[in-house]
Structure 1
Amino acid sequence: MSDQVVDGRRARGDASRRSVLSRATDLASVDGLDGLTIGRLAAMSGHSKSSIATLFGSKQSLQLATIAAARQVFMATIVEPSRDEPRGVRRVATLMRRALDYSRDRVFTGGCFFAATSADIDSKPGPVRDAVRAAQSDWYGYVAAQLRYAVEGGELEEGSDAEAIAFVLIALDEHANSRSLLFGDDDAYDRAAGAMRQQLLTVGADPELLTALA
C-alpha cells in the first residue's frame, strides 16, 4: 500500500474523529458524560455506530476523548487569547470576561462543558472523573497563579489570598452560567462581571486594569 493511500486514510480518519468529537462535546454539555452513548452520537453526527466504535473503541475512551476535545476548545477560547495581556490583574479580568462570554455565546449548547460534566460525574470515581477534575484544577490553578502575580507585583493588596479570590471569581462565573441556563437570564453575566470587578477593587485593583469587566 502506497504512503499516499495510507496518508489519505489517516486524514479521513482524523477528519471523522474531529467531526464526531464536535458533536460529542455539544451533546455532553447538555446530557452529561453518562448520556454520551455511541448510539445517540451516531444519530446526531450522521456516522454509523460501527464507525464510531472503530474510532474510539469503548464508551470510556469516547468520554475521555470528548473531555480532551472540550479542554482544547476551552483553552483556545478563554486561556490562549488572554495571554496577550500581561500577567496579573489585567489578564485575570480578561480571563473572567472570556469565561463569561464562552458561556453566554453558547460555544457548547449546554453552556460551560465542564460545569455540566462536573455535576454529572463528581461522585463517580474513575478515569473520567479524574480527567474532568484535572481540567478544572488546571483552570482554578491558572486563575490563582495570575492573582499571585498581581499580589507580588503590587497590583493587589499585600497579603491578599489569591486562592480565595480565585474561588469567588470562578464561583460567580459558574453561577452566571447556571442561572442563564435555568432561568434564561442573560443579565446574570453582567451582574457577575460587576461582582467580579467589585471583588478585585476591594483588594486594591486599579480600575484602569479592569476594563474587560466594565
Structure 2
Amino acid sequence: MTVDGRVARGDATRAAVLERAVDIASVEGLDGLSIGRLATELELSKSGVHARFGSKEELQLAAISAASVIFTEHVITPAMTAPPGLPRLDALCTNWLAYSEERVFPGGCFFFNTAAEFDARSGRVHDAIAKVGRDFANLITDLVREAKKLGHLGSGVEVAQLSFELHALGRAANADSVMNGGTEAYELARDCMSSRLRAAAMSAPPAT
C-alpha cells in the first residue's frame, strides 16, 4: 500500500507540533499554547499548523490526548505487566514517581500542572483533563481493591482511604519538587508509600 506523501508529511507535522506543545504546556500551562507560537518555534507555516488543529481549543485538546498517551506508556502499561495484586499496585506507584522525577515532561507531571490551571473553569478542556485524572485515580482504587481481594491486604484495609493516600503522596511529591527543586520529596513519597503498603500487607492473613 502506497502512503500519500502529503499525508505522511501532515502526520509528521502534527506529531512535531504536539511533541513541542506538551512540553510547553507542562511548564507554562495550556494557555501558553498558540498556533502562531508553535509554527514560529518549529519553523512551520502558520496556515499548515492551523489546518491540522483548527483552533487553540482543539490544539489544547490534542495536547491533552498526546500527553495521556505518553503518561500511559511510562506509568500504566509497564505496571500492568507485573503480577496482579500488591506487585502491580507497587509497580504503578513506583512508575508514577519515576515519571515525574525523571521529568518526562519538563514541568513535572503534565496533568497535575494543567489540572491546577483549569480546575475552577468549565468547558471541554477542563473536562478532558478531569477525565484523565479520574481515570488514573480509579485505576489506583481498582488495584488496591484487587490486592485486597487476592488477600495481599488485610480485610480491614479501607480501599478508598488507602487509594486516596497513595494518590495524594504522588501529587505532593510532584508539587514539592517542581516548586522547590531536588528529589527529596520523591524519596519521602516512596518511603511513605512503601510503609503504608507494608502495613496494609502485614494485616493480611498468612498464606496457607
Pairwise TM-score range, normalised by the shorter structure: over 0.9
Which residue in 1 is equivalent to 2:188? 191
Partner of residue 139 from structure 1, selected from 136, 139, 142: 136
SS of equivalent to 2:4: helix
Which aligned runs of 4 or more in structure 1 are off by greater than 3 angstroms? none
Partner of residue 54 from structure 2, selected from 47, 54, 57: 57
- Match runs of 1:103-122 below 5 Å: 103-122=100-119
Q: C-alpha offsets along residues 103-132 of structure 1, whole Å, 9 cap, x if unaligned?
A: 111111100000010000011100101100
Cα separation, 1, equivalents of 2:153 and 2:159 = 10
Q: Unmatched 5+ residue regions in structure 2?
A: 204-208
Which residue in 1 is equivalent to 2:25? 28
1:205–1:76 Cα change, 3 Å: farther
Which residue in 2 is equivalent to 1:102? 99
Deviation at 1:205, TM superposition (A): 5.1
Q: Is residue 164 of structure 1 aligned with residue 161 of structure 2?
A: yes
Tell which deviates more after alignment, 38-47 or 193-202. 38-47
State the TM-score, normalized to the length of structure 2.
Answer: 0.93
Which residue in 1 is equivalent to 2:178? 181
The code of the aligned residue for 1:183 comes to N
What is the Cα-based RMSD across aligned positions, in Å? Answer: 1.5
Q: Is residue 77 of structure 1 aligned with residue 74 of structure 2?
A: yes
SS of equivalent to 2:182: coil
1:181–1:28 Cα change, 3 Å: same
Q: Unmatched 5+ residue regions in structure 1?
A: 207-214
The code of the aligned residue for 1:52 comes to V
Which residue in 1 is equivalent to 2:9? 12
Cα separation, 2, equivalents of 1:123 and 1:44 = 30
Deviation at 1:41, TM superposition (A): 2.1
Pick 1 or 2: higher relative contact order, CA cutoff 8 A, min separation 6: 1
Which residue in 2 is equivalent to 1:211? none
Percent identity, aligned pairs only, is 42
Tell which deviates more after alignment, 30-39 or 107-116. 30-39
Tell which deviates more after alignment, 172-181 or 65-74. 172-181
Deviation at 1:43, TM superposition (A): 3.1
The code of the aligned residue for 2:115 comes to S
Cα separation, 1, equivalents of 2:109 and 2:14 = 22
State the TM-score, normalized to the length of structure 1.
Answer: 0.90
Matched-pair contact (CA < 8 Å) for 1:82–1:95: yes
Cα separation, 1, equivalents of 2:192 and 2:40 = 42
